[in-house]
C-alpha cells in the first residue's frame, strides 16, 4: 500500500515521446501512411500542425514499419540558405550512417545532384537493403519555401525526388510540412494528378483523447466520466496539453492517495498545470506577429463574455488577421454562427486571459489594427 505514493508518473510532457507504445491517438495516421506504402503510393504528404506533437510522431513512426522497410529520417530545419548540393550531401550522410555496411566509396558517389538521384540511391537500394524498401522521411520540407531567394530549392528537390521514386520500384518518400498546402502549388498539383489527399495531423478526436487519458495510468488511477470530459473540454484533444493536465492530476492523486479521478481533481490542478506548462503555452503566441498576438488575445478575452460589446464587434470586423490565423495557425476558428472567432483549446484561452490580459490601450489598438 505504501508503494502507491512512489509509482512513476506515466505521462510525458515537455519532451518528445520515443517509444511507439507511449504514442496514443495517432493510430489512424500511422495506418494511412502504411496503406500508402502498401498500395505503392510513392510520395506521401503529411501536413502536421505546429506544436501538436510532431517530433514525437516523426520519432516513433519508423517503429511502426514492417521489417521489409528501411526508414531514413532527415530534417530540412536549418537548411533554408544552403545549396542543393549541401542539402543532398547531408542527406547522403544520413542514409549512409543509417544503413549498415555502406562503404565510403559508395557514399562519395553522391557528389552531385544528378549522381545522388541516379547513382547513389539506386546503389543503396540494390546493394545494401537486402530487398527492402527505402522510405525517406523528410521533415520540415516547407523550410525550403520560407525564403524567396531559395524557394526554388523545394520545387527542384521535389521534382528530382518524384522522378527518382518513379524510376526506383523500392523507393518511397514521406514529405512532412507545416505550412498551408496552397503555399506550395507543386505539391497540390501532385495530389490532383495522383488523386491523393494530404494526411492531416492535428488535434486528437474524442476517442483518441480518452485513450491518452486512461491508458497510461491503467491499474493505478481510474478516471470518472466527468473527469475525462473536463480534460477534453480543456485540451480539445491537444496531445501535449492533455499529457500536461494528466501529469499534474496523477501527481496530485498519488500524493493524496486518491484512486478515482473526478472533475473536482481536474479543477484542483489547473493553476499549477498552467504554471508548469508555461513554456509550452508561450509557444502558442511566440510565432505570432504583433497584430496577430493582439488579435489572438482579444479573442481569448471576448470568447466567453456574455452579450455584445465593442471588443466583440471589432473582432467580427476582421477580414484579414482573423481569417489568416484561422486558415494557417490551426488553433483559431470561426464560430459556427458567424459571430466571430474562438480559440479551439480552452486551456490556452484561460492561460492567455490570466497571464496576458488586454490593457485599455491594447483594446483601442485592436480596433485600429483591424
Domain final position from 282, 308, 331 = 282
Q: Is residue 239 part of a domain?
A: yes
Same domain? For 181 and 222 the reply is: no
Same domain? For 69 and 11 the reply is: no
Same domain? For 6 and 93 the reply is: no
Same domain? For 50 and 80 the reply is: yes
Domain assignment of residue 346, given as a range? 290-369
Same domain? For 54 and 180 the reply is: yes
Rounded to an integer, the average pLDDT of 185-189 is: 85
DSSP string, 318-368: -SSHHHHHHHHTSSEEE-TTSS-EEES-HHHHHHHHHHSPPPHHHHHHHHH
Residues 343 and 299: their CA atoms lie apart, in Å, by 7
Q: Is residue 299 part of a domain?
A: yes
> Residue 182's pLDDT is what?
75
Same domain? For 176 and 32 the reply is: yes
pLDDT tens readout for residues 47-71? 998 889 899 999 999 999 999 999 9
Cell 495510468 locates to: 217
Beta bridge partners of residue 48, listed in sequence order? 201
Same domain? For 186 and 77 the reply is: yes
Domain final position from 282, 304, 319 = 282
Q: How are beta strands 171-177 and 133-139 bridged, if at all?
A: parallel
Domain final position from 154, 171, 201 = 201
Total domain count for the chain? Answer: 3
pLDDT band at 318 (very low <50, low <70, confident <90, very high): low
Same domain? For 197 and 208 the reply is: no
Short-list 259, 186, 272, CA closest to 227: 259
Q: Is residue 21 part of a domain?
A: no
Residues 11 and 97: their CA atoms lie apart, in Å, by 32
Q: Is residue 91 part of a domain?
A: yes
Same domain? For 55 and 129 the reply is: yes
- The CATH number of residue 119's host domain is 3.40.50.300
Cα pseudo-dihedral 175, 177, 182, 188, rounded to 10: 10
Rounded to an integer, the average pLDDT of 116-129 is: 98
**Nine-digit cell at 210?**
480518452
Same domain? For 194 and 208 the reply is: no
Same domain? For 301 and 237 the reply is: no
Cell 493582439 locates to: 294
Angle between helix axes 321-328 and 290-302 (nearest 10 degrees) is 90
pLDDT tens readout for residues 235-275? 999 999 999 999 999 999 999 999 999 999 999 999 999 99
Beta bridge partners of residue 174, listed in sequence order? 44, 137
- Spell out where 192-289 has E strands: 199-201, 222-223, 260-261
**Nine-digit cell at 78?**
536549418
Residue 101 confidence (pLDDT) above 70: yes
pLDDT tens readout for residues 149-172? 555 788 899 999 999 999 999 999
Same domain? For 359 and 211 the reply is: no
Global pTM exceeds 0.85: yes
Amino acid at each position: 500500500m505504501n508503494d502507491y505514493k512512489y509509482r512513476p508518473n506515466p505521462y510525458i510532457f515537455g519532451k518528445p515521446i520515443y517509444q511507439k507504445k507511449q504514442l496514443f491517438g495517432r493510430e489512424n495516421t500511422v495506418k494511412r501512411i502504411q496503406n500508402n506504402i502498401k498500395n505503392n503510393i510513392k510520395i506521401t504528404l503529411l501536413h502536421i500542425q505546429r506544436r501538436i506533437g510532431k517530433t514525437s510522431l516523426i520519432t516513433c513512426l519508423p517503429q511502426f514499419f514492417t521489417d521489409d522497410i528501411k526508414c531514413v529520417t532527415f530534417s530540412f530545419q536549418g537548411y533554408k540558405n544552403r545549396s542543393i548540393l549541401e542539402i543532398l550531401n547531408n542527406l547522403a550522410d544520413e542514409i549512409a550512417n543509417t544503413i549498415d555496411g555502406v562503404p565510403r566509396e559508395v557514399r562519395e558517389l553522391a557528389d552531385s545532384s544528378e549522381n545522388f538521384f541516379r547513382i547513389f540511391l539506386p546503389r543503396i537500394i540494390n546493394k545494401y537493403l537486402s530487398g527492402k524498401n527505402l522510405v525517406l522521411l523528410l521533415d520540415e520540407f516547407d523550410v525550403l519555401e520560407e525564403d524567396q531567394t531559395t524557394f526554388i530549392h523545394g520545387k527542384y528537390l521535389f521534382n528530382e525526388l518524384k522522378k527518382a521514386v518513379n524510376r526506383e520500384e523500392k523507393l518511397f518518400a514521406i514529405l512532412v510540412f507545416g505550412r498551408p498546402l496552397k503555399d506550395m502549388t507543386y505539391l497540390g498539383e501532385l495530389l490532383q494528378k495522383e488523386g491523393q489527399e494530404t494526411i492531416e495531423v492535428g488535434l486528437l478526436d474524442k476517442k483518441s483523447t480518452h485513450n491518452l487519458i486512461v491508458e497510461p495510468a491503467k491499474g493505478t488511477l481510474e478516471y470518472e466520466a466527468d473527469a475525462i470530459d473536463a480534460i477534453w473540454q480543456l485540451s480539445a484533444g491537444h496531445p501535449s496539453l492533455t499529457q500536461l493536465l494528466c501529469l499534474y492530476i496523477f501527481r496530485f492523486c498519488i500524493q493524496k492517495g486518491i484512486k478515482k479521478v473526478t472533475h473536482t481533481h481536474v479543477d484542483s490542478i489547473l493553476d499549477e498545470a498552467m504554471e508548469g506548462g508555461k513554456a509550452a503555452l508561450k509557444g502558442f503566441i511566440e510565432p505570432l506577429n504583433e497584430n496577430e498576438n493582439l488579435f489572438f488575445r482579444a479573442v481569448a478575452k471576448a470568447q466567453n463574455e456574455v452579450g455584445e460589446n465593442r471588443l466583440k464587434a471589432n473582432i467580427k470586423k476582421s477580414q484579414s488577421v482573423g481569417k489568416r490565423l484561422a486558415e494557417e495557425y490551426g488553433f483559431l476558428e470561426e464560430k459556427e454562427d458567424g459571430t466571430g472567432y474562438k480559440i479551439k483549446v480552452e486551456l490556452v484561452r484561460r492561460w492567455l486571459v490570466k497571464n496576458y490580459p488586454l490593457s485599455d490601450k491594447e483594446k483601442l489598438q485592436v480596433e485600429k489594427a483591424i
